[in-house]
Amino acid sequence: MGVRRRKQDLNLLEKIYIPEILKGLALTMKNMFKPKFTMKYPEEKFIPPASYRGRPVLVMEQNGEERCVACGLCSRVCPPLAIEVQAAETVREKERYPEKFEINMLRCIFCGFCEEVCPEEAIVMSKDYELAFTNREDAIYGKDKLLVPVSQLQDRIEFLRQYK
Amino acid sequence: MSVLEIIIFTLVKIVLILTIMLLTVSYLVYFERRISAWVQNRLGPNRVGWEGVLQPFADVFKLLLKEDVVPAKANPIIHTLAPVIALFVAFATYAVIPIASPLKIFGYDVPLVVADVNIGVLYVLALTSVGVYAITLAGWSSGSKYSLLGGIRSSAQMISYEISMGFSVAGVLLFAESLRPLAIVQSQGSWMWNAWMQPIGFITFVVSAFAETNRLPFDLPEAEPELVGGYHTEYSSMKFAAFFLAEYANMIIAAGMIVTLYLGGYNIPFFKIENLGLANWLTVLIQIGTFFVKMGALLFFFLWIRWSLPRFRYDQLMGLGWKVMFPLSLINLVWVAALIMIFKI
């Protein structure tokens, strides 16, 4: 409009309020029948896009072994020191694997540095956002909870290859 | 009818009306939350019971279990008395609003109104004025500046709008030639509603009713952004619930008064139910239904307005009350007098 409309610029119909009030009422009535934005959470779940940074997980190959070579970069880069890795030798020559891999989910800030620094695409952020614990011990996730089959993480791996 | 019989009938009517009132109030709160959600494209409370219908009971139960905190600077007696006055006024006012024509039962003619007094309208105006005390005293006795500001605003607002309300009602009284609510309803017949005959008076009365019940766009006594919670900032637990209930009960009374004074009360428009020759109890039942449908529509209008209009500024509120509503209600009075002069004599 450019010029701000003041009270003296209003015409008579606008000054007696009632037609304008009716317009407002029509607008709110129209909105009452529009589809709702609310998601009925426990029944209806939010499925995040590939760019979503949920709980960090370790990628498990088809043969049931982890990709992780226990280089320890993730634990070095982790800002709140949530990751603890202990390496061990495998039967194969010059290869290591994490004997112990723990993420403290109370510390994790979901920054995604671990997945960014990982040279092996072994740790990625999943779409899992339902994290609840009843005590502090439960919040430390070991390898049993962290290992997720690679087939479930394809979305995120594709995303990382494209944008990282 | 002997005195004992009158007492028994009145007691039964009081219990019935109170039950209906309390249920309507709790569901009014529920519908306010649902409708506000719908207007904003949300769902609203839909978890407790089917589609959240048990939500009001959960709310009341929660409030009952809360700790009652009284501020150290508050005046404990008046602080306790204020919500009691608010509730008393809210429930006592309903006594004079007729919900149907007299019911013939056990050989008696029972008027379906708790007290069929011949100064009913005056009684309502008097009691709603007492309601100002509840809010003002609550604001003053809390020992908090926000509450005090809310209380002062409320008294100024109510006094200003009571004038235009009184003058609008005077127009209705001229037509009906009676202060008795039943007579006012009967004087309107089935379609000669006062809302058609005196539209200006109808509008001024509805606007004043909004101001008297502290509803948006006139809810300055509890303007949240400026006054925290207004006059009930320092109230908690059941005392807060009492104010909350009283506020919604006042809305129901305002709706009931508008139906009685302007919208033909319990009569179905353009249709004489007496001509059908139905049994008396059936007629009464249909009339009660009509009354509640009219009242429900008005209550929906109250909620709908709330979620459509922004709040007035304080000077705008006073300006509207004194410079617009007051002259308009006077014009309406002249208009009604002219109508009577031309057509009735």
Locus of tokens 């031309």? B342
From A24, A28, A37, residue closest to B42, measured CB to CB? A37
- Across the interface, do A36 and B307 touch by the CB < 8 Å criterion? no
| Within-domain flag for B60 | no
DSSP letters for A41-72: TTTS-----TT---SEEEEE-TTS-BS-----
pLDDT at A2: 55
Task: Please give the structure tokens belonging to residue B302.
Answer: 């109250």
Residues in chain A closer than 8 A to B42 (CB atoms): 36-38
pLDDT of residue A164 exceeding 80, the answer is: no
| Within-domain flag for B58 | no
pLDDT at A3: 60
Residues belonging to chain A with any Cβ–Cβ distance to chain B shorter than 8 Å: 18, 21, 24-25, 27-29, 31-32, 34-38, 40
Within 13 Å and on the Cβ side, how many CA atoms surround B157? Answer: 32
Laid out side by side, the sheet with A123-125 consists of A123-125, A56-60, A147-149
| Within-domain flag for B3 | no
| A40 Cβ neighbours under 8 A, 6+ residues apart | B43
Chain A residue with Cα closest to B324 = A16
Backbone angles phi, psi at A122, to 5 degrees: -95, -25
Laid out side by side, the sheet with A83-89 consists of A83-89, A96-104, A140-141
From B35, B40, B309, residue closest to A24, measured CB to CB? B309
- Across the interface, do B38 and A27 touch by the CB < 8 Å criterion? no
- Domains present along chain A, CATH in parentheses: 56-163 (3.30.70.3270)
Q: Structural domain tally of chain B? A: 1
**d(C-alpha B223, C-alpha B310), whole Å:** 11
Instruction: Say what the pTM is.
Output: 0.81
For residue A5, name the pLDDT band (cuts at 50, 70, 90).
Answer: low
pLDDT at A121: 87
**d(C-alpha B308, C-alpha B177), whole Å:** 37
Residues in chain A closer than 8 A to B38 (CB atoms): 31-32, 36
- Across the interface, do B40 and A31 touch by the CB < 8 Å criterion? yes
pLDDT at B53: 85
**d(C-alpha A150, C-alpha B17), whole Å:** 67
Instruction: Work out the minimum CA distance from A139 to partner chain B, whole angstroms.
Output: 30
| Within-domain flag for B107 | yes
Residues in chain B closer than 8 A to A27 (CB atoms): 308
pLDDT at A77: 93
Neighbour tally for A109: CB within 10 Å: 11
Locus of tokens 């008393």? B88
Give the model confidence (pLDDT) of A37-88 as tens digits. Answer: 888 888 888 888 888 998 999 998 888 888 888 888 999 999 999 999 998 8
From B39, B203, B305, residue closest to A32, measured CB to CB? B39
Backbone angles phi, psi at B137, to 5 degrees: -65, -40
Contact yes or no for B5/B108 (Cβ under 8 A): yes
pLDDT at B244: 84
**d(C-alpha A38, C-alpha B45), whole Å:** 11
Residues in chain A closer than 8 A to B41 (CB atoms): 31, 34-37
Omega prior to B217 cis, within 30 of 0:
yes
| Within-domain flag for B235 | yes
For residue A89, list its beta bridge partners.
Answer: A96
Neighbour tally for B303: CB within 10 Å: 20
- Across the interface, do B43 and A34 touch by the CB < 8 Å criterion? no
Mean pLDDT on B233-245: 84
pLDDT of residue A11 exceeding 80, the answer is: no
Q: Are strands A56-60 and A147-149 parallel, antiparallel or unpaired?
A: parallel
- Across the interface, do A28 and B307 touch by the CB < 8 Å criterion? yes
From A24, A34, A38, residue closest to B308, measured CB to CB? A24
For residue A131, name the pLDDT band (cuts at 50, 70, 90).
Answer: confident
Residues belonging to chain B with any Cβ–Cβ distance to chain A shorter than 8 Å: 35, 37-43, 203, 304-305, 307-309
For residue B136, name the pLDDT band (cuts at 50, 70, 90).
Answer: confident
| Within-domain flag for B15 | no
Q: Are strands A140-141 and B103-105 parallel, antiparallel or unpaired?
A: unpaired
Interior CA angle at A85 toward A83 and A90, to 5°?
150
Domain range enclosing B319? 70-344
B108 compared with B296, residue with greater pLDDT: B296
Specify the range with the lowest mean pLDDT, choosing from B176-180, B183-187, B221-225, B239-243: B221-225
Give the model confidence (pLDDT) of B307-338 as tens digits. Answer: 888 888 888 888 888 888 889 889 988 988 88
Chain A residue with Cα closest to B39 = A32
- Across the interface, do B41 and A28 touch by the CB < 8 Å criterion? no
| Within-domain flag for B34 | no
pLDDT of residue A129 exceeding 60, the answer is: yes
| A80 Cβ neighbours under 8 A, 6+ residues apart | A107, A108, A109
pLDDT at A80: 92
For residue A140, list its beta bridge partners.
Answer: A104
| Within-domain flag for B26 | no
